[in-house]
A and B are shown apart, each in its own frame.
Chain A
C-alpha cells in the first residue's frame, strides 16, 4: 500500500497569509494526487486533481504542485472561509489519504 504523510499536522495562520501544506507519498505516484478541503460535519470538497489542476468552481487562490513523491497545496491569500482541514489523496493505486492538516486561526 502507498502511505501518505502530510506536514504540518496543524497550521495557525491569519487572513491574508500565504499557506503551504506538504504531502509526501511512500513511493512515486506520478501526478496522481488530489487535494480536498473538509469543514466540521461536512463532506470533503475536491480542490485540486492530478496534482495541479484546479477543480471547476474552486477559487484561484488555491494551487497545487509536485510530482513523484512530494506535493504541495498553496493558498495564496488565506480567506475566512479557508479555515478547515485539508487532505491529500493518491490514486496511483487503491486510494489512500493523508492524515490531514488543520488550518486554524492564529
Chain B
C-alpha cells in the first residue's frame, strides 16, 4: 500500500524558515517524480514544486522560486521542501504527491499525503 506521510509543518514568523519532509512507502520511490502542492485555507490547489525520480531535475512555481528548495533522498525514501523567507501568503496545507506515471516531473498525481499545515504569522 502506497503511503505518503508529511511532517515538519508549524507556526513560523515572516522571514523565517521551515523544512517539510514526506516519508514514502509502498512503491519504488526512485522510479517516480514527486511534487509538493499547497492549499491556502478555504482556497484551491496550487502546485509548488516538483523533482524528477533521480533528483537531477527540479521545478518551481514562480511564487516560490528562489525561496523554496525541493530535494529527495532515495536511500531514505524521503522528499523534502526547504522553505526560506516565508511570507504570510505561504500559509497553507502542504501536500506531497506522487506523479502517477512518470519518472519525469510531469503528469497527474495518483497518491497524496494527508498534508501538513504551515502558518506564517507574527
Contact = CB atoms under 8 A, between A and B. Distances in A.
B115 A98 contact: no
B1 interface: no
Interface string B17-31: 000000000000000
Which range holds the interface residue count of chain B? 20 to 34
Contact of B44 (A34, A43, A46, A87): A87
Contact of B61 (A49, A55, A94): A94
Contact of B112 (A43, A96, A98): A43
B56 to A, nearest CB: 17
Interface of B: 35, 37, 44-47, 50, 59, 61-62, 95, 100-101, 106-110, 112-115
Given A44-B112, A49-B108, 10 more contacts: A34-B109, A36-B109, A43-B112, A43-B113, A46-B108, A46-B110, A89-B108, A95-B35, A97-B44, A100-B44
